[in-house]
Amino acid sequence: MRQISSLRRKELNWSEKECLRLLYERGVMRPGELATELKLSHSTITELLQRLAEKGFIVYEKYKEARLSKDGTLMAMKIVRKHRLLEVLFVKMGLNACEACLEARKVDYLISDDLAYKMCYYLGNPEKCPCGKRIP
């Protein structure tokens, strides 16, 4: 049971995932910047950052800047990888790059590592997403 609860503790909701992605792309960010980007109130972003810090994904002191921890960097990298693989798949299915990005953003954090691995193989180990960004 302990294993299950620790897994659940590491689960992310969509806003938490987007927060990790932004920090991965931009490095260090202030809570106010994150609130604007994610269209969340300042109290909501403060709670969200505290949860991410408790889960060990970010380093954050209240009202100061936030940045990814080692665990958070790994988690964000995995999500970005899944996101870009999904984009490649969706473009192959006929979506344009922008549509593919929007759709991938909805589900990138939900798919399993195993599915991402199989998608990568199925897609012929692509190195770049449709916008030309490297797949980590």
- Considering beta carbons, is residue 53 or 119 the nearer one to Zn ion? 119
Touching Zn ion, residues 89-108 (CB under 5 A): 101
- Considering beta carbons, is residue 59 or 77 the nearer one to Zn ion? 77
- Considering beta carbons, is residue 23 or 101 the nearer one to Zn ion? 101
Minimum distance from residue 87 beta carbon to Zn ion (Å): 5
135 binding Zn ion? (CB under 5 A): no
58 binding Zn ion? (CB under 5 A): no
85 binding Zn ion? (CB under 5 A): no
What's phi and psi for 13, nearest 5 deg?
-90, 180
66 binding Zn ion? (CB under 5 A): no
Q: Please report, as ranges, the residues that interact with Zn ion according to CB under 5 A.
A: 101
